[in-house]
Amino acid sequence: MKKYILILAILAVGCDAPVIEGHGFWAGQDGDETCIAGPSETTDVYNKFMDAHSERDMETIKSLLSEDLVIWHSDGSRVEGRDVHLEALQSWFDQTNPTFNPFWGMPYVGVNNAETWMIAAHNSKTTVDGEDSYASHMLDLQVTDGLVNMIIVYSRDLPPPPPAQD
């Protein structure tokens, strides 16, 4: 009898399916979603992406973007297509000489739809006609097969930093 109890106990423990616990949620138009922490490879894609922007490395940026890239800007405008974005990005680099300071990020995955995203933020400084402007940007980047295929940008202006003290 003890053998049967032991066998049943082992079967009961061995047949337990893993429970995926969610740490975030989405209650959008496509239905509810539970989100969990994502893979570090997604963070690696984001870090390469931001490093390439800092270095103005258009080839690396291109290699990280899907051809059918869509970018939603905080002003409501939308950019469709990798090549359209790269052309505008090069022009923006030339006109504003931006610098970037990433300061946080977190990869996450939807449990139901298995979409992989990176939410991250950086501050930037741009210079036009000798006038510096500062902003903070939060990005939601959807990453599929190692390529960024959607970016949702949230931006706000920042005051200039305090003057350096000697």
The answer, yes or no, to whether residue 153 has pLDDT greater than 90, is yes
Q: What is the pLDDT of residues 75-108, one digit of tens each?
A: 999 999 999 999 999 999 999 999 999 999 999 8
Tell me which residue of 57, 87, 80 sits closest to 149, measured CA to CA. Answer: 80
Q: What is the mean pLDDT of residues 46-58?
A: 97
pLDDT band at 62 (very low <50, low <70, confident <90, very high): very high
Q: What is the pLDDT of residue 122?
A: 97
- Inter-residue contact 134 to 156 (CB < 8 Å): no
The answer, yes or no, to whether residue 35 has pLDDT greater than 90, is no
The answer, yes or no, to whether residue 11 has pLDDT greater than 50, is no
Q: What is the pLDDT of residue 27?
A: 56
How far, in Å, CA of 8 to CA of 91, rounded?
68
**pLDDT more than 90, % of the chain:** 67
Q: What is the pTM of this model?
A: 0.80
The residues pairing with 100 across neighbouring beta strands, listed in sequence order, are 124
CA 105 centroid distance within chain: 7
- Inter-residue contact 73 to 150 (CB < 8 Å): no
- Inter-residue contact 34 to 113 (CB < 8 Å): no
Listed by start position, the domains of the chain span 43-158
How many residues are given for the chain? 166
Q: Which CATH number fits domain 43-158: 3.90.1150.10, 3.40.605.10, 3.40.50.2300, 3.10.450.50?
A: 3.10.450.50
